[in-house]
Structure 1
């Protein structure tokens, strides 16, 4: 009887029974003016999780317990994946070869998609008057702490890397083990690892003869995202002024390349370029002109700074693959390409760059996020802060007395 009252109150068709799956399909149809990355995210959450677990439930009968049950089942399958991957039987391991455990962060994003879809059902169609996804309590979404590859951590990782390759070669009956596969499989102290300044220098030396050296240098020193680096256009670069405007990006979705503007206003920014990076970009431009002459009429005029040898758009995954090879050849412990961005922030802070400048360079929306994420990565940052504090209170020099005089004014 309550269902009938609700439908009368919200002016619904009393004969209509909308399921969660039906509504999610309708929700996607209505989301026309959204970024392609956001659309793919919605589609993935709906196809892989929301429809299989909740799709058959009537929309007006969806309860908090149903949503909680979905996440419990996802966590249970995470355990299954972990158990099967640890199995000694090849067939058992193969059954989850391409399945990845769903992280807490991903679960929060799945819940956000459902919450948004249900809010639309409330506001636009008045199909329901309660959003169970909005009140569900979930585990805290803690960001992994960035750690530096210190000497002890590097030594321990190399030992585990050697042991893994030896064990894997024995398991395969002496057959060759793909070094890059082993390189990325051996666990790291944290999901986010950062190279020291010396390790970063070794990487750039290894990349010196690579045709994408300028791209890796931009990411390493200026903290560009992968899509921003791949989407950098010559018309947005002023080599004489030593600046580049970040106004376009290339992103990879389901193996396809999509172009578009950065997602937030803060990501639309102009960055300064150091003299050596400008020199590197000039050399890259000359090399690109030589490639253009070499292919002649087959050249594809895309206007991008970083391209394939025929001028076509650069595939983001290729950039990541080449990065791993260069890091491996340099004998460095592994980090993700995106971790170069973390390293850039840490290097700037260790060099004494103000947090506001770091925030604007990275394209963050707030300096508090920048500070919370990066100020504790390099010990030098904390040490510099401690020394400045001590100098302020205890220093006998002119600098300490000058600061105190300013505070008294």
Structure 2
């Protein structure tokens, strides 16, 4: 996503800040592309000497980094404006240059499901139909089966079914999990400052939430807890007790960036079409809607402050759900005559009531919102 900055008289210094951010974004994109090219070459190398050379080259290159997107720039401008307004109130300055800098958010890409047709196109061209792609339930199941023995399986499972953000999953504490009550409270997260890991609050006030856990997820977490206890015994006094649910083998904090890299490596070694770790979160919303959850329930599960975000971004409904909604809409209109399907008007009235409930459950109510 890109953003544009409008320069107004008297705001050149403030505007230059955002211009520098855009410049840095371009550099990050170029560096990430260069690193990915070297990494791809390393994977294709057949000789150990070549692989060592590529690994050495990768060590000299900057790690993968995220760009500062439009949403982050909007928050930065809001913080800057507030600080400068305080300075005006204290008569330190008389003019707020940040008030005259406009950062226009880029359009959010729509999430698309990896249908058979899109998979075939990707296999033929190597191009993703959208930056945000979602696996079907079958594809998600195939991935979870593939990584069932992975140390991070529990984390992948939790994101895939309950929609936690990456940082929320990495920062989840055992003290915030009640396996008997089948709940997990999102109260903190691990975030990246450059490449350094820091603990922070949930992304928004709505991000602090209690997430209901299904029986299978509880079972997965109990198994993971037993595995962690075994690792703790193995490490003995060298174990670092961070209290986190998901850690390195010695108990230290997970690095969110390395978790994403591990996930993407697993995807590359499979025959599945590519998605990002964050796209498992999109998939969780899709699965919840397919399972009959209404939009409000999905919004609360994901920790969105606005239902607009949920409906506009995360409701990449599966084809069968869309077809079900289409059939439900068609049956909302009662008919006196017998239709081509052989139903009488009385049957249609009953179907209309059930169909109306289905459409209501899918939900389309919208509120204003900003964050992803």
> TM-score, normalized by length of structure 2?
0.72
Matched, 1:221 2:187: no
Q: Indicate conservation of the 8 Å contact 2:164/2:302, yes or no.
A: yes
Q: Quote how far apart the aligned CAs of 1:210 are.
A: 0.5
The equivalent residue for 2:115 is 150
Q: Deviations over 1:130-184 (max 9, x none)?
A: x4443445545311111222223323323344xxxxxxxxxxxxxxxxxxxxxxx
Deviations 1:277-331, CA, capped at 9 Å, x for gaps: 1111111111111111111121122211111111222221221121111111222
Structure 1 residues 134 and 226, CA gap change in structure 2 (3 angstroms) = same
Q: Secondary structure at the match of 1:250?
A: strand
Work out the CA distance in 2 between the residues paired with 1:259 and 1:240. 27
User: Closer, same or farther in 2 for the Cα pair 1:123/1:325, shift >3 Å?
Assistant: same
Higher RCO, 1 or 2 (CA under 8 Å, sep at least 6)?
Answer: 2
How far is the alpha carbon of 1:264 from its aligned partner?
2.7
Question: Is 1:400 aligned to residue 351 of structure 2?
Answer: yes
Whole-Å Cα distance in 2 between the matches of residues 191 and 86 of structure 1?
A: 15
Cα distance, 1:266 vs structure 2: 1.4
Query: Aligned in 2, Cα 1:382/1:152: closer, same or farther, shift over 3 Å?
Result: closer
Q: Deviations 1:172-218 (Å, cap 9, x if unpaired)? A: xxxxxxxxxxxxxxx53222111122111111111111111111000
Q: How does 1:9-408 map to 2 (within 5 A)?
A: 63-64=10-11, 104-105=70-71, 108-109=74-75, 111-125=77-91, 127-129=93-95, 131-161=96-126, 188-394=128-334, 396-397=347-348, 399-400=350-351, 402=353
3-state secondary structure, aligned to 2:158: helix
What RMSD in Å do the two structures reach over aligned CA positions?
A: 3.7
Alignment partners' CA distance in 2, 1:349 and 1:329:
29
State the alpha-carbon separation in 2 of the partners of residues 303 and 267 from structure 1: 21
Rounded to whole Å, the distance in 1 between the matches of 2:22 and 2:356 is: 59
Quote how far apart the aligned CAs of 1:384 are: 2.9
3-state secondary structure, aligned to 2:147: helix
C-alpha separation between the residues in 2 aligned to 1:380 and 1:404?
15
Structure ID, larger Rg:
1
Question: Aligned equivalents of 1:215 and 1:240: distance in 2?
Answer: 19
Specify the SS of the correspondent of 1:199.
Answer: helix
Q: 1:380–1:63: structure 2 CA closer, same or farther, 3 Å change rule?
A: farther
Q: Distance in 2 between matches of 1:71 and 1:313?
A: 33
Where in structure 2 are there 5+ consecutive unaligned residues? 38-56, 335-344, 358-372
Contact 1:248 1:260 in 2 (8 A): yes
Could you tell me which runs of 5 or more consecutive residues in structure 1 were left unpaired when the two chains were aligned: 1-49, 55-60, 162-186
Distance 1:247 1:405 in 2: 37
Instruction: Summarize the Cα distance change of 1:159–1:374 in structure 2 as closer, same or farther, 3 Å threshold.
Output: same
Whichever structure has more helix as a proportion of its residues is 1
